[in-house]
Amino acid sequence: MIDIKALRDNPDLYIQAAQNKRIAADVPRLLEVDRQLKDAKAKLQEIATEKNRIGKSIPKLAGAEKDAALESLSRMKRDEEASQEAVKQLQPEFDALMLQVPQPADPEVPVGKDDTENVELREEGEIRQFDFEPKDHVQLGLALDIIDIERGVKLAGTRNYFLKGDGALLHWAVLRFAVDFMVGRGYTPMSVPLLMRDEAMQGTGYYPGSEEQTYRVEKDELSLAGTAEVPLTAYHMGEIVQEQELPLKFVALSSCFRREAGAAGKDTYGLYRIHQFDKVEQVIVCKNSDEESAAFHEEIQANSEGVMQALGLPYRVVAVCTGDLGRGQAKKYDIEAWMPSRENYCETHSASKFYDFQARRMNLRYKETQTKKNRFCHTLNNTVIASPRVLIPLMELYQNADGSITVPEVLRPYMGGKEKIVAGS
């Protein structure tokens, strides 16, 4: 959520932000409702002050003066009820309009309509050139009997799968390595709940806007989280932490659930776009400092690149354009891994900076040590690794001519020292 005072001072900035992000937000109507709401609340305060003054004077009055004072109180009561009704009608509309207003992107963010206009910053690692006809991850997985999509679809519908044997072990190895990597960098490991109340979904910016992508448990009024970002960022929702506690650095491994609504017929092959996956997520909650946010944004990006480099996967980093940013994101980097079967770099990570957008929604604050003032925190998050999507480049780039898959060296300790996945193993 944005600061209404900032919007009042510079409405054009937020109108332009909505246009650049291609997000519907009626800023003029919000300003009009805000004005009416302020007037109604000011009127209520005036009435309360006047009622208090007249109430204190009545015991000293008599006759016509007392009658006039009582009549004034009666008239003010009617005015008070009218103003209260105005607030009752205006406040929900104000709140709804506020939730729609996007955070302006940082000035250096490229303006663009969608992900096709993201800007490549750099490429890392060497793309493997094969001296044999390579297989894609599904062909490899079926031949090695480590992936079963057919039975996943039979039991759970499209975009579902089984990983089995060494496929499951490779999947878990990637995730466990990523957790250990982050713990080694000082992040606190967290095991998180996945069923979220609406307050947490709204607080982190997923509602409104992502309802169609979310699995909803209507009977319990809960939602399955599509990322551990939600419970990690909302962990201190509604609290005031002490400045010396910051920064908070969390890492969590969780299952993630996404409906992929609107993706019918898109990326239906293999493990790229699926309904359920596992992800290691990193979240930082820090002081209200643009400089700190910028530094931590580079830190979480570096953490994810460190994992990719340890796995030996070639990738590129892109600056996400305005049209591909979410409502609360001020700036975002994507990491895209090279996937041979797709003949392209494809997204595997997103590092996002929010400033105080999420914290305002969640009322997440900290008390400054010197001033004793309460300030909204800043928040950031990034994927450390997500699987099984990352298994696509891992399997395809580490395959051998005989159909086996070499296990990356850093993952071998998590697979009992196994160096290769071979048929029948």
Residue 27: which region, alpha, beta or left (left: phi > 0; alpha: psi -120 to 50)? alpha
**d(C-alpha 73, C-alpha 71), whole Å:** 5
Q: What angle do CA 184, 188, 189 make, to 5 degrees?
A: 90
Q: Does the CA dihedral 327-322-334-274 come out positive or negative?
A: positive
3-state secondary structure of 248: strand
The helix/strand count (H/E) of the chain reads as 12, 18
Asked about 122 being catalytic, the answer comes back as no
Asked about 343 being catalytic, the answer comes back as no
**Residue 350: closest CA among 189, 202, 227, 258:** 227
Are the beta carbons of 367 and 399 closer than 8 angstroms? no
Asked about 159 being catalytic, the answer comes back as no
Say what the alpha-carbon torsion angle 212, 214, 219, 222 is, to the nearest 10 degrees. Answer: -130
Q: What angle do CA 105, 111, 117 make, to 5 degrees?
A: 125
**Residue 360: closest CA among 231, 229, 193, 234:** 234
Asked about 375 being catalytic, the answer comes back as no
What is the token pair recorded at 316? Answer: 């590129």
HSE-CB for 126 with a 13 A CA cutoff? 4
Helix (H) or strand (E) holding 368: none
**Residue 359: closest CA among 210, 239, 189:** 239
What is the token pair recorded at 406? Answer: 């070499």
Catalytic residue among 128, 197, 273, 375: 273
Burial (CB count within 10 angstroms: exposed 0-12, middle 13-18, buried 19+), residue 372? exposed
Catalytic residue among 83, 254, 304, 350: 350
Say what the alpha-carbon torsion angle 152, 156, 160, 165 is, to the nearest 10 degrees. Answer: -40
Strands 331-339 and 344-353: antiparallel
**d(C-alpha 227, C-alpha 381), whole Å:** 10
Catalytic residue among 258, 360, 361, 365: 258
3-state secondary structure of 391: helix
The side-by-side arrangement of strands in the sheet containing 248-257 is: 119-124, 315-319, 331-339, 344-353, 378-387, 276-286, 248-257, 188-190
Catalytic residue among 347, 368, 375, 412: 347
Asked about 258 being catalytic, the answer comes back as yes
Residues annotated as catalytic are 258, 273, 347, 350, 389
